[in-house]
Chain A
Amino acid sequence: MDYLTPWILTVIVEFIVIWIFIKNKPWKLLFYSVIVNSLTLPLATYTYFNILNNFLAIELMVIMIETVVLKYLLEIKYSKALLISICANGITAFIGYFLSLTFK
């Protein structure tokens, strides 16, 4: 199973989204994107394959977890963290869905 490609793709996309909102210290934001997605992506993948085969529910859980983590890492308000998390995960989910259809 290829884990690296979706991980790299998610890290880059989420970094771009975070950077659009924060526009400060890009290397630090990239590092945050790496650690946040290294936490949520494997757990989400495992949950999807073994515990809860419901994409939407897992995306919601990821959004909630990332909201909390981003709020404290970026020292921003919950509303802004939620917005970043929704945008980032929405875009990666859309890309993932599109790629899964393309390379089916």
Chain B
Amino acid sequence: MKTKIYISIILVIILAFNISFAFADVIEPGQKQVNLSYQISNINNFPYYVFLLHGTPSPNYEILNASEFSLYKLSTASIYAVKRSTFNKNILTQANESAVDEYFNNNSDVIHSNLQLEGGYGNVDSNNQLENATIILEIETINDTSLEIKKSKIIYGFTDGSTQEQVFTNNSTPVPNKTKYNSVDYLWFLVLPILAAITIAIVLLSKKKT
């Protein structure tokens, strides 16, 4: 009988640990989404070009300016450039989705960039102070055939309104080094359970003595 109870308990525990969270796109309980946006810092230095954003599944196309822009969290997109002298917006406005794809992939006027942009930063614990991130892009070179863009820095925004700026030193995204927890969190997660454990130990010891 005891063996059966033990086996049942072990099975329940194993099952509990294996109830996986295969929600894919859905934000899991206890998590929150960090909004990611991009901004091209020196776009106004290239007035002879029109800069376009095209991605999968979106945006179909978007004309970029010095303002921040963002993508749908599951999208990947690229920045393209077209000489202002040859750019005809009507081609894009009147085209259907596949024609727009065709334009970006095969039109000789379209200059492809080296960079692919991701739509989402990802999810973090809901008690994480990180709220949003903005990646600052910088156009390095542009000519008739190539457009070189680099990620220069990332600006993290936190729930308390503060921001933190970090420079990209290589291809990996620098992580925010702001403390994840504040002093109240430390009191709650560390000090309180330690005090409780000490108190329980004292009570048990005093019981043992008596």
Contacts and interface: CB of A to CB of B under 8 A. Distances in A.
Co-assembled chains A and B: yes
Interface in B84-107: none
Interface string A12-36: 0000000000000000000010011
B195 interface: yes
Interface residues of B, number: 28
Given A54-B17, A57-B16, A60-B16, A39 B30 contact: no
Contacts of B167: none
A94 interface: no
Given A42-B193, A72-B204, A55 B29 contact: yes
Nearest to B15: A56
Contacts, number: 66
A1 B13 contact: no
B29 A60 contact: no
B116 interface: no
Contacts of A1: 127, 184-185
Interface in B181-210: 184-185, 188-190, 192-193, 195-197, 199-200, 203-204, 207
A53 B192 contact: no
Contact of A38 (B184, B185, B196, B204): B196
Interface residues of A, number: 26
Given A42-B193, A53-B29, A73 B200 contact: yes
Nearest to B208: A72
A38 B192 contact: yes
B189 A56 contact: no
Given A35-B199, A73-B204, A53 B189 contact: no
Interface of A: 1, 3, 32, 35-36, 38-40, 42-43, 45-46, 48-50, 52-57, 60, 69, 72-73, 75
